[in-house]
């Protein structure tokens, strides 16, 4: 496949040949000067010997000149061949890099380039391998995202369409229960679209600019996010334990509120048990640490490592039931890590899960 791509693009002249010719030219000049100096010095020293006759001096001069004229082109040829072979071997990773970059441009993911060349080339190929792996991971995530989106949107739309067709055909009649079901399905669709818009917004911001930050007390910001869920917590009879300390830090108010809101919503959405949702915030080691702990279903190590990836859901069936899109925590990562140079993490012990974010006190 990669060879076809190379033929398709056309083969450009190799840089190795000009480099080899340049080296041969430099080597020729060096050998000519060296040969002349050797010839002149040797002839001069032999001529100074008292026992050397003139005819023998001439024979020595002729033989030395012949030897040097034979040695000169032989040295140039051998040096040129050795230089070509060594340079070609040294440039092999670069040729692979060019070929694989062309493949990457066509949308194909090449295998890793293995090299034991010079440090600079090793760094270049290692960076390319990392880039390829990251792009492949993003492509896989994008494909999974499209699959998840299609599935998530199809389910409520199919439900709504099925109900409407049944009502049109007179199979069922509209009542309060039916309208409630249709309303819940439409709310689920709206929630998915809102999450997609939020993700798109934060992606756009991260790509083109950094958020403006103000030096404000973070405690009221967290409390404002908490106030949005007072009624929900009361209706679901979920106990809440809050322990926050005041501290002024540099932050974007809208961004931090969005991140905290998503984490609290996640804690409520996947709440299973009877213990408190615990929210703490305080300063430690020049960082303001916020943790949100809630009881829930057990999380595997794989799930913990992937929770902040876009469209990742630890349990697809469970997310369909709760209306999760797999974007809320990805938005948190975008805001905290990309926009605030902070840190995120999750710690799970048995059925208790703690989501942590850390924000630097200074810019």
Task: State the residue range of the domain holding 69.
Answer: 2-111
Q: Is residue 129 part of a domain?
A: no
Q: Are residues 198 and 231 in the same domain?
A: no
Q: Which alpha helices (DSSP H) does the chain contain, by range?
A: 2-9, 16-47, 54-105, 119-168, 176-208, 218-227, 230-236, 253-269, 301-306, 316-322, 328-333, 340
Nearest to 331 by CA among 276, 269, 258, 245: 258
pLDDT at 33: 87
Tens of pLDDT, residue by residue, the chain (363 residues): 444 444 444 455 667 778 778 877 888 888 888 888 888 888 777 777 777 677 777 887 788 788 888 888 888 888 888 888 887 777 777 777 778 888 777 777 777 777 666 667 778 778 888 888 888 877 776 777 677 677 767 777 887 888 888 888 888 887 888 888 788 778 778 877 877 777 677 666 655 556 688 999 999 999 999 998 998 899 899 999 999 999 999 998 888 998 999 899 889 988 998 899 999 999 998 999 999 999 988 887 877 777 777 666 665 444 454 455 567 788 888 889 888 889 999 998 888 999 999 999 987
pLDDT at 153: 75
Within 13 A of 250's CA, how many CA atoms are on the CB side? Answer: 13
Rounded to 10 deg, the angle between the 176-208 and 119-168 helix axes is 160
Q: Are residues 204 and 218 in the same domain?
A: no
Nearest to 186 by CA among 75, 91, 323: 323
Nearest to 350 by CA among 307, 294, 306: 294
- List the beta bridge partners of residue 289: 282, 358
DSSP letter for each residue of 182-244: HHHHHHHHHHHHHHHHHHHHHHHHHHH-----EEEEHHHHHHHHHHTTHHHHHHHT--EEEEE
Task: Give the SS3 label for residue 262.
Answer: helix
Q: Is residue 50 part of a domain?
A: yes
pLDDT at 305: 75
pLDDT at 126: 81
CATH of the domain at 186: 1.10.287.130
Q: Is residue 149 part of a domain?
A: yes
> Considering 167, 193, 209, which residue would you say is the last residue of a domain?
209
Task: Give the SS3 label for residue 288.
Answer: strand
> Considering 209, 224, 249, which residue would you say is the last residue of a domain?
209
Q: Are residues 363 and 248 in the same domain?
A: yes
Q: Is residue 239 part of a domain?
A: yes
Give pTM, 2 decimals. Answer: 0.56
pLDDT at 250: 92
Q: Are residues 217 and 363 in the same domain?
A: yes
pLDDT at 267: 92
């Amino acid at each position: 496949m990669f060879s076809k791509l190379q033929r398709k693009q056309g083969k450009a002249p190799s840089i190795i040949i000009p480099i080899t010719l340049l080296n041969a030219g430099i080597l020729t000049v060096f050998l000519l000067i060296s040969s002349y100096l050797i010839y002149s010095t040797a002839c001069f020293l032999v001529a100074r010997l008292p026992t050397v006759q003139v005819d023998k001096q001439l024979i020595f001069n002729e033989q030395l000149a012949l030897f040097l004229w034979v040695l000169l082109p032989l040295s140039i040829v051998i040096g040129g061949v050795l230089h070509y072979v060594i340079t070609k071997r040294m440039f092999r990773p670069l040729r692979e890099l060019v070929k694989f970059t062309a493949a990457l441009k066509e949308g194909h993911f090449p295998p890793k380039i293995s090299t034991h060349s010079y440090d600079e080339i090793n760094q270049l190929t290692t960076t390319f391998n990392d880039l390829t792996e990251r792009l492949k991971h993003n492509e896989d995530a994008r494909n999974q995202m499209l699959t998840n989106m299609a599935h998530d949107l199809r389910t409520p739309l199919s439900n709504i369409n099925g109900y409407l067709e049944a009502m049109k055909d007179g199979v069922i009649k509209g009542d309060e229960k039916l309208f409630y079901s249709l309303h819940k399905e439409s709310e689920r669709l709206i929630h998915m679209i809102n999450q997609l818009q939020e993700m798109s917004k934060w992606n756009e911001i991260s790509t083109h600019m950094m958020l403006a930050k103000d030096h404000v007390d973070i405690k009221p910001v967290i409390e404002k996010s908490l106030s949005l869920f007072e009624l929900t917590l009361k209706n679901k009879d979920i106990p809440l334990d809050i322990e926050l300390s005041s501290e002024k830090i540099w932050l974007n108010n809208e961004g931090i509120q969005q991140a905290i809101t998503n984490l609290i919503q996640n804690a409520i959405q996947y709440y299973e048990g009877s213990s408190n949702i615990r929210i703490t915030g305080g300063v430690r080691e020049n960082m303001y640490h916020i943790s949100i702990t809630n009881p829930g279903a057990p999380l595997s190590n794989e799930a913990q490592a992937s929770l902040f990836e876009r469209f990742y859901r630890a349990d697809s069936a469970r997310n369909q039931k709760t209306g999760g899109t797999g974007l809320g925590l990805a938005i948190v990562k975008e805001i905290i890590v990309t926009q605030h140079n902070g840190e995120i993490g999750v710690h799970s012990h048995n059925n208790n899960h703690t989501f942590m974010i850390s924000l630097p006190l200074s810019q």
